[in-house]
Amino acid sequence: MTRAQQTVSIGLLVTSLYLALYLHLIPLPALISNEIVPVLPFWALVSFGAYLLFKLGFGVFTFNDVPKAHAELMEEIELARKDLRSKGVDVD
């Protein structure tokens, strides 16, 4: 099973479970069924966004801990500067 098939399978499983909860096919207490279940997709979206922002921020924070990638990026920046200078663009 490829990763795409696995992701689609998990997505369908989660979606069908949510629909069963939302349509009251799985009995839950009224408070949970009326107050919590309808906002679960928004909560999941916000949580996923927060997770991605954390991963991005942590990657930026620890970027200098990866000397090889840092050196490669600095080399590419210098190459781009030389290319722009040869075309008459002031980059300093």
Asked if 43 and 86 sit in the same domain, the reply is: yes
Predicted confidence (pLDDT) at residue 58 exceeds the cutoff of 80? yes
**Which residues have CB under 8 Å from 70's CB, separation 6+?**
63, 64
Q: Write down the pTM of the prediction.
A: 0.60
Asked if 43 and 81 sit in the same domain, the reply is: yes
- pLDDT (tens digit per residue) in 1-19: 799 999 999 999 999 999 9
Task: For residues 41-64, give the mean pLDDT.
Answer: 92
Asked if 46 and 10 sit in the same domain, the reply is: no
Q: Give the residue numbers spanning the domain of 58.
A: 39-91
Question: Could you tell me the end-to-end alpha-carbon distance of the chain, in angstroms, rounded to an integer?
Answer: 51
Asked if 45 and 76 sit in the same domain, the reply is: yes
With 0-12 / 13-18 / 19 or more C-beta atoms within 10 angstroms meaning exposed / middle / buried, residue 33 is: middle
Asked if 72 and 29 sit in the same domain, the reply is: no
